[in-house]
Structure 1
Amino acid sequence: MTPRSLTAGLLAGAFALTSCGAPVAPSAAKNSLVIAGYGGSYEEAFKKSVIPEFEKTCACKVTYIAGSSTDTVAKLKAQQASPQIDVALIDDGVQNQAVEAGLLAKLDPKAVTNLPDVIDIARLPGDIGVGFSLNATGLAYNTEYYKKNGLQPPKRLADLADAKLKGKLVMPSITQTYGLGALLMAAKVGGGSESAIDPGFEGVKKVAANAVTFDTTADVSSYFLQGQAVATIWGNSRVQTLAGKGFPIAFVYPEEGALPLIATVNVVNKAPHADLGQKFVNMLLEPSSQKALAEAAFNGPAVKGLTLDPALAAKVVGQARAGQLRKLDWTMINKNRSAWTERWNKEIEIS
């Protein structure tokens, strides 16, 4: 999910007016709900399909503030004494940090009645938040380039270390999810884990030798479109979005196992409108909302029994795939991530 700066327009839209004309934060206004979440296709899908329907059912006004997961959690920390955000949409790894900081509230099973329908991998410890859509981190390659050059499609991370890809690989930096995913995949192949990361660095070094650049944005579309890169470690939904525009690209679930990327929805601790927040979480788990998000951004549903069009179902992380994704120890990852980043900068991204 791409980091996105708040523009002046978004900041202006984040405030409502009282009857006397004085600006107040929307969270302080009656019958309002403030959601901080992803930009791009997620924001478009929410504003088109999810939010209008919720506003009808709750007779309330919803304000959506777009930003990356780290940006959103930074706002929650800054507002911890007096929250202005009611609901936060954040990636699972960052969500774990927010839980440890006491920024999020436990979901109320009486209000979030759809919780029992959520698949196992999307249920979070203590039901502090819940996963509402699934993605996977794996491999992506230019099918046309590979075919023309007699290359076999990659099956595992190590295949991206092929000397024939020298200068044709865009390598994600560890500062974003896909780079971290590459490190964890390499660690597993080498007999390591989140708590034994050395094999990960050894494996990533071999792949990174082919890098034309190290990307920090999480959106490498331009490198593919301009022919600068023909392979990378990337997310399924992003690959499907680019493929949907007619580009010859395919996603591969690597043999060592794709890693889950779970988008979570959370009620902020001491949120001004916590009751509305709980209701919004429940609506996001409704089949209609789940289907809308799958259609808009190729994100896999997080609830059981949802039937999608076969063509769409083949492109998202479905129920069978979800069961094969490897659960990650985010407590261990977050504990060591700053040290890993420092080591990565010294050993992998050597200037």
Structure 2
Amino acid sequence: MKKISIFLLTACIAMIVSACGKAESSVGASSKKTLVVAAYGGSYEKEIKKTIIPQFEKKYNVKVKYITGSSVDTLSKLQAQKANPQIDVAIMDDGPQAQARSFGLLAPLDKKVVTNLKDTYDIARLPKDIGVSFGIVATGLAYSEKDFESQKIKPVESWNDLARPVFKNKLVLPSITNSYGIHMLVMLAKANGGDENNIEPGFKKLKEVSKNAVTFDKTADVSNYFLQGQTIVSAWGSSRVHTLKNSGFPIEFVYPKEGTVALMTTANVVKNAPNGKLAQKFVNYVIGKDVQKEFAKTLFDGPVNKKVKLTGDITNKVVYGKENVNKLVTVNWDVINKKRAEWTERANKEIEIAK
């Protein structure tokens, strides 16, 4: 009987220890923090989920929930959630970011946590360190090399080339609701004697260009339109173009003679974010030397970290180094954002709604 009792006691103890272990494991799993990151869709989402996010999750033992949307979509979410934020990190283009900053939706970076900030180019630093640019992209023109060759079309070299009759029903253009669309409007204005303060020449030319358009895309990713042959030329970003080209599609990026626009992708901690400190760590992570190099290799974003050293063919595919950054045209977002709602309404009524 004593042997049986001892055996039963040992078995019970083992069961209790096992149960406790499982309970601790369950508590550990359920207590793992979830960082909510709102960012772009398309090829960008695919690549960042494949490389950047898994590395961060492993390093900090957390989960990242990815909310897909354009910069304008993310800005709308931040406004709607202002009283009760549900997003920790907002990744946006510099234009919508400037709006979010002015609306008081973003928090300053903590330099004690975001230690990589000191290694970034001046162009990446934003007012009062509310957010930081983590990638430099050029907005220019993209065309399908295969279609241009088969149809014997002369390569584009000017923003005004979008109005050429040969492109009738062969254009999918960015909507004015995203940064590529704003850049296109401003550069059409500059190519015809105007600028941000005199946008009328831009609207006049855009109306002419729109006669060639099949539709205006709001997602900022026209990859599928190129793949399906619905567009053979568009206004687009260098990083997106080279991502598509890297997949095997014959596409070329063009720096128009009137200028190519600098588009800065920014990482921001949302004000009163549920996981504010972890969000600060994520921002520090994406501007770190190693991750910046990864962004250049996989997403073709020009690095903002001065310590990043690139060699080989990649240096011809990304905006790399201070000299090349200085060649890009910068737009005046203060002027644009004051007029953006007016321009959007006008474009919707006069140009895009008909498509």
TM-score by length of 2: 0.83
Say which SS state the counterpart of residue 169 (structure 2) adopts.
coil
Is 1:67 the counterpart of 2:40 in the alignment?
A: no
Match of 2:259 in 1: 257
CA deviation map 1:96-149 (0-9, x unaligned): 111111111111223222212222332211110001112221101122332344
- Partner of 2:108 in structure 1? 106
The equivalent of 2:147 in structure 1 is: 145
Q: Are 1:37 and 1:64, in contact at CA under 8 Å, matched by a contact in 2?
A: no
Q: Which is helix-richer, 1 or 2?
A: 2
State the partner residue of 2:273. Answer: 271
Amino acid at match of 2:37: I
Aligned pairs, number: 327
Question: What amino acid does structure 1 have at the position aligned with 2:260?
Answer: A
Cα distance in 1 between the residues matched to 2:219 and 2:50? 25
CA 1:198–1:33: 2 relative to 1, 3 Å: same
Select between 280-289 and 79-88 the one with higher mean Cα deviation: 79-88
Q: Work out the CA distance in 2 between the residues paired with 1:35 and 1:334.
A: 24
The answer as to whether partners of 2:36 and 2:67 remain within 8 angstroms in 1 is no
Q: Secondary structure at the match of 2:352?
A: coil
Give the counterpart letter for 2:197 in structure 1. S
Distance across 2 between alignment mates of 1:57 and 1:321: 33
Aligned partner of 1:322 in structure 2 is 325
Give the letter for the 1:267 counterpart: V
Describe the superposition over 1:254-313 as per-residue Cα deviations: whole angstroms up to 9, x where unpaired.
Answer: 111111222111112122332222222112111111122222222221222412242222
Q: For 2:253, what is the secondary structure of its paired residue?
A: strand
Of 329, 347, 350, the residue aligned with 1:344 is 347
Once the two structures are superposed, what CA deviation does each residue of 1:59-86 show, in whole Å capped at 9, x if it has no partner? x413222221333333333332333332
What displacement does 1:234 show?
1.3
Structure 1 counterpart of 2:64, which letter? T
- C-alpha distance in 2 between matches for 1:277 and 1:175: 27
Larger radius of gyration: 2
Matched, 1:307 2:309: yes
Once the two structures are superposed, the pairs formed by residues 18-33 of structure 1 within 5 Å of their partners are: 32-33=34-35
Measured at CA, do residues 100 and 311 of structure 1 come closer, stay the same or move farther in structure 2, by a change above 3 Å? Answer: same
Distance 2:83 2:347 in 1: 36
CA RMSD of aligned residues (A): 2.6
Single out whichever of 48-57 and 314-323 deviates more from structure 2.
Answer: 48-57
Residue aligning to 1:10: none
- Secondary structure, counterpart of 1:108 in structure 2: coil
1:335 aligns with 2:326: no
Cα displacement (A) at 1:57? 4.2
Distance 1:123 1:164, change over 3 A: same
**Distance of 1:225 and 1:272 partners within structure 2:** 40
Task: Give distance in 1, aligned partners of 2:187 and 2:353.
Answer: 21
* Cα gap change, 1:65 to 1:223, in 2 (>3 Å): closer
Q: What is aligned with 1:227?
A: 229
Matched, 1:283 2:294: no
Alpha-carbon offset, residue 340 of structure 1:
1.0
- Name the stretch that deviates more: 296-305 or 123-132: 296-305
In structure 2, the partner of 1:96 is 98
Per the alignment, residue 179 of structure 1 pairs with 181
Alignment gaps of 5+ in structure 2 = 1-22
Q: 8 Å contact 2:32–2:63 — kept in the other structure? A: no
Q: Gapped runs of 5+ residues in structure 1?
A: 1-17
Return the alpha-carbon distance in structure 1 between the equivalents of residues 54 and 224 of structure 2: 33
* Contact map agreement 1:86 1:273 (CA 8 A) in 2: yes
Amino acid of the structure 2 residue aligned with 1:66:
I
Matches within 5 A, 1:153-168: 153-168=155-170
Distance in 1 separating the partners of 2:204 and 2:277: 49
Q: State the TM-score, normalizing by the size of structure 1.
A: 0.84
